[in-house]
């Protein structure tokens, strides 16, 4: 019987470090996608651990939609400077010039242009053959089958029919010229693991994750952060008010909801995560128009 014991967070950590190192060993030009959120913060922390005492052997890439919370930009710039990593910021300038936004064009089109196309263009421009991402399999049902190494063709497209089986901890990183791979080192982490690890390792995160009185718009069960600059997000009859709240996940400010919470430190956040009844995805997409809401209702959304 074994005399050593390894906690589950340390086991997950070791697995993630193993994956990150394999990618650096087998790919010519990897990059780490950095969204400034909690999952990215954990991913970056793991990467620093993997190569210590050497600096990161790759850059961070932030695909900026221009719609992120200002607290996220502040945090990103300060933190990257402090730890001395190379940060590349890319935007889909074309779409931004045309005034792309979720309210007029719809969430799907806006995400498609600013996030997806922005990312594909940035990856192509950088000539990266591997891109680390912070996706987790517990986030939603469709992600449960995602591989750790996820192959992309020359157009950056995913072919779910053609996924490579992953056996033991042996990853097959062979690709043809022009193909690339998305790598998800924290596939096996749950939301609870992420919070517990941030707490244990004292990983700095954006202050929006901690509860505070913030101006919010209440819409149905959703709490939408209110900013003076975008008064036009108010629908008829709505008025902003101060609500003790925090964010479980951070995306673009017009599309990310907050939750009512008084958890203002890591201990309280972990306790809240353990008792959470709803998945974090629930706060992710906010409906801006009548149509999308109706579509969702048809599928049984309440």
Partner 1 sequence: MAKLNLDLTKEIELLRLVTVGSVDDGKSTLIGRLLVDTKGAFEDQLLAVRKKKGETKIASASEIDLAMLTDGLSAEREQGITIDVAYRYFATPKRKFIMADCPGHEQYTRNMVTGASTANAAIILIDARNGVMPQTKRHTHILGLLGIPHLIVGINKMDLVDHDQAVFEKIRDDIKAYCAKQGVKDLTCIPMSALDGDMVAVRGDNMDWYEGQTLLETLEDLSVLDAVDEQPFRLPVQLINRPQTADLPDYRGFMGTIASGTVKVGDEVMAAPSGKSSTVKEIVTFDGNLDEAFAPQSITITLSDEIDISRGDMLVHTGKATSDGKELTANVCWIGDDPLTNRKKYMIKHTTSSVKAMVASIDFRRDIHTLDREDADELAMNEIGQITFKLQKPLHYDLYADNRVTGSFIVIDTFTNNTVGAGMIV
Residues 202-261 that bind partner 1 (CB under 8 A): none
Q: How many residues bind partner 1 (CB under 8 A)?
A: 72
Binder of partner 1 out of 116, 163, 230, 292 (CB under 8 A) = 163
Q: CB of 204: closest distance to partner 1 in angstroms?
A: 15
Q: CB of 7: closest distance to partner 1 in angstroms?
A: 6
Q: CB of 70: closest distance to partner 1 in angstroms?
A: 29
132-151 binders of partner 1 (CB under 8 A): 137-138, 141-142, 144-145
The answer to whether 178 and 171 have CB atoms below 8 angstroms apart is no
From 52-60, 71-79, 124-132, 249-257, give the range in contact with partner 1 by CB under 8 A: 52-60
From 20-28, 89-97, 115-123, 238-246, give the range in contact with partner 1 by CB under 8 A: 20-28
Q: 200-210 burial, b for 16+ CB within 10 Å, e for fewer?
A: eeebebbebbb
Q: Which residues pair with 217 in a beta bridge?
A: 224
**Residue (48 or 90) nearer to partner 1, CB:** 48
Q: CB of 183: closest distance to partner 1 in angstroms?
A: 14
Q: From residue 114, how far is each of 66, 119, 120, 151, 276 by CA, in Å? A: 9, 8, 10, 22, 31
**Residue (239 or 302) nearer to partner 1, CB:** 302
**Residue (63 or 273) nearer to partner 1, CB:** 273
Q: CB of 245: closest distance to partner 1 in angstroms?
A: 16
Q: Which of 236, 239, 244 is nearest to 218 (CA)?
A: 239
Determine, following the binding rule CB under 8 A, whether residue 287 of this chain makes contact with partner 1. no
Torsion 256-261-265-266 (CA) sign: negative
Give the three-class secondary structure for 231: helix
Q: Which of 219, 128, 118 is nearest to 175 (CA)?
A: 128
Determine, following the binding rule CB under 8 A, whether residue 279 of this chain makes contact with partner 1. yes
**Residue (91 or 164) nearer to partner 1, CB:** 164
Binder of partner 1 out of 153, 272, 284, 292 (CB under 8 A) = 272
Binder of partner 1 out of 83, 108, 192, 293 (CB under 8 A) = 192
- Nearest 5°: the CA angle 47, 61, 141 is 75
Q: Which of 169, 171, 151 is nearest to 159 (CA)?
A: 151
The rounded distance, in Å, linking the Cα atoms of 293 and 197 is 36
Give the three-class secondary structure for 79: helix
Q: CB of 163: closest distance to partner 1 in angstroms?
A: 7
């Amino acid at each position: 019987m074994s005399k050593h014991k390894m906690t589950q967070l340390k086991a997950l950590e070791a697995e993630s470090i193993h994956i990150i190192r394999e990618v650096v060993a087998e790919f010519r030009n990897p990059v780490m996608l950095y969204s400034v959120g909690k999952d990215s913060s954990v991913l970056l922390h793991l990467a620093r651990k993997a190569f210590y005492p050497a600096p990161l052997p790759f850059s961070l890439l932030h695909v900026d939609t221009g719609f992120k919370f200002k607290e996220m930009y502040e945090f990103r710039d300060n933190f990257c400077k402090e730890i001395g990593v190379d940060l590349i910021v890319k935007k889909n300038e074309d779409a931004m010039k045309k005034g792309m936004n979720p309210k007029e064009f719809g969430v799907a089109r806006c995400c498609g242009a600013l996030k997806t196309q922005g990312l594909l263009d940035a990856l192509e421009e950088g000539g990266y053959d591997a891109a680390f991402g912070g996706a987790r399999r517990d986030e939603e049902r469709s992600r449960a089958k995602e591989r750790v190494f996820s192959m992309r063709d020359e157009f950056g497209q995913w072919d779910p029919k053609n996924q490579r089986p992953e056996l033991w901890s042996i990853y097959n990183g062979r690709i043809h010229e022009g193909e690339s791979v998305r790598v998800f080192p924290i596939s096996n982490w749950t939301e609870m693991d992420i919070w517990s690890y941030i707490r244990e390792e004292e990983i700095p995160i954006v202050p929006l994750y901690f509860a505070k009185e913030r101006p919010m718009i209440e819409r149905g069960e959703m709490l939408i952060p209110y900013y003076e600059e975008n008064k036009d997000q108010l629908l008829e009859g709505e008025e902003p008010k101060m609500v003790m709240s925090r964010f479980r996940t951070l995306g673009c400010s017009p599309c990310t909801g907050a939750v009512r919470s008084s958890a203002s430190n890591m201990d309280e956040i972990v306790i809240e995560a353990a008792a959470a009844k709803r998945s974090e995805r629930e706060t992710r997409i906010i409906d801006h128009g009548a149509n999308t809401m109706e579509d969702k209702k048809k599928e049984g959304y309440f």
